[in-house]
Structure 1
């Protein structure tokens, strides 16, 4: 009975469980000038097809990226130049990880998390949202979570983290190596 009621409400409200389940970040706020653990949550495949690859574009201002490997998955990191030189702990850096890619098989019926750690540049401004565009490849298609407009009604919104003021603006470093 409960299943039918939930399905009826879903149909009545015009909400499709697939359409409402996006790739999201577990933690949606973080301080500039600190390390951030990004946990990308994936709740389904592409219209019933198994997920075979997750690609995440690393935006400017996100430095020292270290992905967490997943058993049974191949992990690739693409390096590249930053649009502008960055500073990491007082040292200049002009390149780093620009994309992460995990390849494997995630059945449509299962939930999974893809994790990486990174330093959020102190040049990022409180109130700014930093987006991580994701392309989810499946055996029978692709879902693009790449819209960075911030519009909650956008089709395929990219997961994002809102930058907040540092907890210790007077010299705190937010170190969590």
Structure 2
């Protein structure tokens, strides 16, 4: 490959990588109705600007969310009344977490555009298999991304500029099936 071809190939790969870069989950599939540790991977800022805040809106049916604290970031938890309460450990839960927000405590804690980090929470997944969408607002020193677009049907994010974060829920295995 000539130096020019190498440069063009590298430039195209970098451009495509940036166009496809967004907030993603470490594990994009899980068993419906199971406990789940969501690791949101943030690989860039907003057009070169450092990330100062990450807000995760939890989808309906995601229960009992608990965020993992991050040094240098404050946590805020927003709860709301549930349309349909549920039982957990012998208690009726009538309100639950609907949004988690991590905010950098100081400029020294900002997630620079050239850096990578993860924001973690855990909770229980809905019982119904299929796509589950998390909306993530990434605020930066200048600008923001609102990763909230969803396809009209299905789970393909092709063509979406700022897709919501997808978790595909699979059916639990039938009793007696061997799991690897």
* Equivalence for 2:138: 136
Aligned mates of 1:65, 1:143 — CA distance in 2: 23
* Equivalence for 1:175: none
Aligned mates of 2:2, 2:37 — CA distance in 1: 37
* Equivalence for 2:36: 36
Q: Report deviation, 1:148.
A: 2.0
Q: 1:137 to 1:3 in 2, by over 3 A?
A: farther
Aligned mates of 1:121, 1:88 — CA distance in 2: 14
Give the paired residue count: 167
Report the structure number with the largest CA radius of gyration. Answer: 2
Deviations 1:53-84 (A, max 9, x none): 00000111100101000001011111112343
CA RMSD between the two structures: 2.7
Q: 1:117 to 1:7 in 2, by over 3 A?
A: farther
| TM-score, L = length of structure 2 | 0.81
* Equivalence for 1:119: 124
Q: Report deviation, 1:159.
A: 0.8
Q: 1:107 to 1:7 in 2, by over 3 A?
A: farther
* Equivalence for 2:56: 56
| TM-score, L = length of structure 1 | 0.83
**Residue ranges of structure 1 left out of the alignment (5+ in a row):** 171-177
Of the structure 1 ranges 68-77 and 160-169, higher mean CA displacement relative to structure 2 is found in 160-169
Alignment map for 1:25-174 (pairs within 5 Å) = 25-88=25-88, 92-104=92-104, 105-122=110-127, 125-126=128-129, 128-149=130-151, 150=155, 151-167=157-173
SS at match of 2:122: strand
**Residue ranges of structure 2 left out of the alignment (5+ in a row):** 105-109
